[in-house]
C-alpha cells in the first residue's frame, strides 16, 4: 500500500539505487584488475530500466556492460580515473539514499498523524 503512495520519483530512485550499487561492484572489479592483462573495464547501463519505470512498467534490472571505448589490458594509469568514478558514484548513491529516506519520512509523518 505504501509503495503506491510513494510516487514516480521514489520508483525511479529505487532503480537508480540498484544501478549505483551495481556500478560500485563494476568499479571495484575494475580497480582490482588494474594490472590484469586483457581485462576489459566494466560499466553499468540502466537507461532502459528508467524509461520502463517512467512508462509505469516494471523495470528490468540494470546490467553490466563492457566499456569497449577503453583499451583492455593492464592500465595502471587509470587508477586515478577509477577513483574519480568511485567518488562520484559513492556521493550519488548517498544522495539517492538521503532523497528516498526523506520521501519515506514524509509518508511517515502522514501515517503517524504527526505523533512520534
Partner 1 sequence: MNYLQAFAISASGMAVEKARVDLTAVNIANAQSTRSADGAGVRPMRLVSGAKGGPDFAGLLGSFPGLPASVAAGSAASLQGAEIVSVAALATPPRLVYEPGHPDADEKGFVAYPGINPLAEMVNLLTAVRAYEANVAALSAAKTMALRTLNMGG
Partner 2 sequence: MVTEPVSFIPALREPGLDPLAGAQGAQGAGDFGAWLSQALGKVNQDLARADQGLQSLATGEAQNLHQVMISLEEARLGVQLLVQVRNRLLDSYQEILRMQV
82 within 8 A of 30, measured Cβ to Cβ: yes
Q: Is the dihedral of CA 81, 23, 65, 59 positive or negative?
A: negative
Asked whether the beta carbons of 11 and 96 are under 8 A apart, the reply is no
The answer to whether 64 and 40 are in contact (CB under 8 A) is no
In terms of residues, how long is the chain? 116
Question: Which does residue 27 bind out of partner 2, partner 1, none, counting CB within 5 to 8 angstroms by kind?
Answer: partner 1
CB of 63 to partner 1, least distance (A): 6
Which of the choices partner 1, partner 2, none does residue 39 contact, using the CB cut-off of 5 to 8 A by kind? partner 1
Write each residue from 32 to 71 as x if it is in contact with partner 1 (CB under 8 A), else as -, in one continuous string: xxxxxxxxx-xx-x-----------------xxxxxxx--
Q: Give the interface segment with partner 1, choosing from 8-16, 50-58, 74-82 (CB under 8 A).
A: 74-82
| Nearest to partner 2 of 79, 111 (CB atom) | 111
Q: Cα separations (Å) of 68 from 38, 39, 40, 65, 113?
A: 12, 11, 7, 9, 53
Q: Kindly state the cell numbers that stand for 57.
A: 512498467
What does the binding site for partner 1 look like in residue numbers (CB under 8 A)?
A: 21-22, 24-29, 31-40, 42-43, 45, 63-69, 72, 76, 79, 82-83, 86-87, 89-90, 93-94, 97-98, 100-101, 104-105, 108
Amino acid at each position: 500500500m505504501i509503495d503506491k503512495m510513494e510516487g514516480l520519483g521514489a520508483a525511479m530512485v529505487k532503480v537508480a539505487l540498484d544501478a549505483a550499487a551495481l556500478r560500485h561492484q563494476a568499479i571495484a572489479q575494475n580497480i582490482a584488475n588494474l594490472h590484469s592483462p586483457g581485462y576489459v573495464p566494466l560499466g553499468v547501463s540502466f537507461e532502459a530500466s528508467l524509461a520502463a519505470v517512467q512508462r509505469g512498467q516494471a523495470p528490468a534490472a540494470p546490467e553490466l556492460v563492457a566499456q569497449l571505448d577503453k583499451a583492455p589490458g593492464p592500465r595502471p594509469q587509470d587508477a586515478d580515473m577509477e577513483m574519480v568514478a568511485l567518488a562520484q558514484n559513492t556521493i550519488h548513491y548517498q544522495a539517492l539514499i538521503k532523497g528516498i529516506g526523506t520521501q519515506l519520512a514524509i509518508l511517515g509523518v502522514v501515517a503517524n498523524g504527526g505523533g512520534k
